[in-house]
Amino acid sequence: MAHDDPKDPLHHHEHHHEPGIPDQHKARGPAYARVYVVTCSDSRTAANDEGGKAIKSMLADRGHVVAGSAIVPDEPARIARELQRAKDDGAQVVLFTGGTGISSRDRTFDAVSAAIAKPLPGFGELFRMLSFAEIGSPAMLSRAVGGVTKDGLVVFAMPGSPAAVRLACERLILPELTHLLEELGR
């Protein structure tokens, strides 16, 4: 029996695994994203910015382009300025690390939330769920947030710890990044 005969059991077996809808969606997305990385901190420097370094490394490993980066104090005006700079530099995505807790200095959440026109509540919900599995109840103190600005920038704000950055990027942000951009372009 020829291999291209539809009645051949081998032929049928070879095609029993159809790609799922998510795979088809991702196939249409751009090959890479242009990402701007912002560390919000009063104490981090280029030498000790572990969260920012981790993000850049994960982006590079997956073929994304770092369009720019900055370390800024956790002040809403500075954060708003970096969003504008990211847009001017041709970034499609801005990833923030730091300032998502509840101390008086943690103002990244407020600044990023103010810029978001289309929230993605699932990011914060899933991040806290995954974080809870790793660290327990302190996960509820995280105000990780994501969404899309009125200018069409995709923004995600995650905590400053390298472990939290890896969790957010590896499990949530990077697997969906190009799919997200493809959806925005529709």
- What are the structural domains of the chain? 38-184 (3.40.980.10)
pLDDT level of residue 23 (50, 70, 90 thresholds): low
For 140, residues 6+ apart whose C-beta sits below 8 A from its C-beta are 128, 132
Nearest to 145 by CA among 160, 127, 132, 162: 127
pLDDT tens figures, 153-176 = 999 999 999 999 999 999 999 999
Give the whole-angstrom CA distance, residue 185 versus residue 84.
20
Mean pLDDT, residues 70-87? 95
Euclidean distance between CA atoms 6 and 164, whole angstroms: 50
This prediction's pTM: 0.85
Asked if residue 37 lies in contact with residue 56, where contact means CB atoms within 8 angstroms, the answer is yes
